[in-house]
Amino acid sequence: MSEGTVATQHTYVPLWRVRLNLFLRSLRTNWALFAENPIGLIGLGIIIFFGLFALAHPILMNTVWPSKIYDPVSGYDMEVAFHPAPPSPRHLLGTDPLGRDVLSQLMYSTRYEFALGILSAVVTVVIATTIGAVSAYYGGIIDTLFMRLADLVIMVPFLPILIVLSALTEVGMIELALVIGILSGFGGTTIVIKSQALAIKVKPFIEAARVSGGGDFHIIFRHLIPNLLPISLLYMMFVVTGAIFSEAVLSFFGLTTIQMSWGIMINTTQLFGYLLRFDTWWLLIPASLAITTLCAAFYLVGRALDEVVNPRLRRR
């Protein structure tokens, strides 16, 4: 109650400035809540680390790494006699069976993992929030239809669909992101968001909006969805985790046409029969560690956001 007010008494501040300030203020208070939780900070730290890792790759390629040798897809180091070569000053994480630099592959893949995760999460959340809000608001036949669809999507396992799909067409990064996004958007996430929307729909402020003269569209977009956004954001984090993980699995089985990714790195290892050998650890460990940590990082951020979004979980 005692927080400073944005509009001061006599100077006229345009509405958009006020809104911007309010937005920044809410960002600050939410950040303060988030920052109280070490779990979230660790997760965020890891994500930032991977971000920098991804950004560093093009810089390295343009400065110290000649592309003939270090290109993650087509590079080959002729000066090394035998591939895969163990880590050395020239190749900090060694080379793969095709003579490519493992560190370069790892860094190069990072940006695609991010793109994949974020694209699928955005697709999921846009679909799930809209459908969740609409079917909670209207109920009846619309609701039944979408909920049966959700049951169907949940029941049919995810991987088989992708396997069939990969047999039919080429599944690249974008296709994969869209498929993951759509399946998860029409599936479980919708149900979670709808149940939240049901709780909001019966709040008196929705009735107040109707008495004010607001139509369905107004109520859904001005009242329902803004109150769903925090939970949507939370689920975005979990979708990112799921997407990165699914990509790794599919690529491992060679079901995608992605040229390079962490999953492909493991797939190459397996193709050349180095998968279960301890003496060539650099082929397996860096990529799998990267998958695990990045997935975990998004998950941790999600958990910390959960505490910001659900005040009940918060300590007083």
Partner 1 sequence: MRDEILVDIQHLSKLYPVETGFFTRTNLFVHAVSDLNLQIYRGESVGLVGESGCGKTTTGKLLVRLIDPTEGKIAFHAEDGVVDVATLRGKALKRFRRNVQMIFQDPYESLNPRMTIYDTVAEPLDVQGIGTLPEREERVAELLETVGLTPASSFMFRYPHELSGGQRQRVAIARALVVEPTFVVADEPTSMLDVSVRTGVMQLMQELADKLGVTYLYITHDLAVARYMCQRIAVMYLGKMVELAETEELLHHPQHPYTRALLSAVPVPDPTYKRKPMEIKGGISKPINPPPRCRFYERCPIADDFCRDNDHPPLEDKGGNHFVACYKV
Partner 2 sequence: MRDKVLEVKNLTMHYTTRKGPVYAVDDVSFYVGRGESVGLVGESGCGKTSIAISLLKLLPDNAEILSGQILLDGVDLVPLSEDEMRRFRWRRISMVFQAAMNALNPVYTVEEQIIEAMQQHMPHLSDEEMHARVDQLFELVGLDPAFKNQYPHQYSGGMRQRAVIAMALSCEPDLIIADEPTTALDVIVQDQLLKRIREIQEQLNMAMIYISHDIAVIAEVSDRVGVMYAGHLVEMASTEAIFHHPVHPYTMGLMSAFPSIVGPKRELTTLPGEPPDLLNPPPGCRFHPRCHYATSICREKTPEFVEYEEDHYVACWHPGGEG
The rounded distance, in Å, linking the Cα atoms of 202 and 208 is: 11
**Coil/strand/helix, residue 52:** helix
The option from partner 2, partner 1, none interacting with 312 (CB < 5 to 8 A, set by class) reads none
- Contacting residue, 83, 90, 111, 218, with partner 1 by CB under 8 A: 218
Site for partner 1 in 1-30 (CB under 8 A): 1, 3, 5-9, 15, 18, 22
The option from partner 1, partner 2, none interacting with 213 (CB < 5 to 8 A, set by class) reads partner 1
Closest CA to 297 of 124, 49, 91, 33: 49
Site string for partner 2, 103-142 (x = CB under 8 A): ----------------------------------------
Q: Which window, 36-44, 183-191, 211-219, 255-263, contacts partner 1 (CB under 8 A)? A: 211-219
**Coil/strand/helix, residue 259:** coil
How large is the angle between the packed helices 188-201 and 225-252, nearest 10 degrees? 170
Closest CA to 247 of 231, 232, 260: 260
Smallest separation (angstroms) from partner 1 to the CB of 8: 7
Burial class (CB in 10 A: 0-12, 13-18, 19+), 240: buried
Smallest separation (angstroms) from partner 2 to the CB of 316: 5
Burial class (CB in 10 A: 0-12, 13-18, 19+), 138: middle
- Contacting residue, 48, 226, 271, 285, with partner 1 by CB under 8 A: 226
Q: Does 201 sit near partner 1 (CB under 8 A)?
A: no
Give the residue with the Cβ less far from partner 2, 10 or 316.
316
Smallest separation (angstroms) from partner 2 to the CB of 7: 22
Closest CA to 93 of 239, 262, 211: 262
- Contacting residue, 2, 9, 169, 212, with partner 2 by CB under 8 A: 2
48 is written with which tokens?
Answer: 């930032």
Q: Does 31 sit near partner 1 (CB under 8 A)?
A: no
Q: Does 312 sit near partner 2 (CB under 8 A)?
A: no
DSSP H or E run through 178: helix 173-186
Give the residue with the Cβ less far from partner 2, 32 or 52.
32
**Coil/strand/helix, residue 308:** helix
Sign for the CA dihedral angle at 64, 66, 72, 77 comes to negative
The option from partner 1, partner 2, none interacting with 303 (CB < 5 to 8 A, set by class) reads none
Smallest separation (angstroms) from partner 1 to the CB of 2: 8
Q: What are φ and ψ of residue 213, in 5° steps?
A: 110, 5
The option from partner 2, partner 1, none interacting with 164 (CB < 5 to 8 A, set by class) reads none
Cβ–Cβ under 8 Å, residues 247 and 162: no
Q: Does 5 sit near partner 2 (CB under 8 A)?
A: no
Q: Does 1 sit near partner 2 (CB under 8 A)?
A: yes
> What residue ranges bind partner 1 (CB under 8 A)?
1, 3, 5-9, 15, 18, 22, 203-205, 207-215, 218, 223, 226-227
> What residue ranges bind partner 2 (CB under 8 A)?
1-2, 315-316
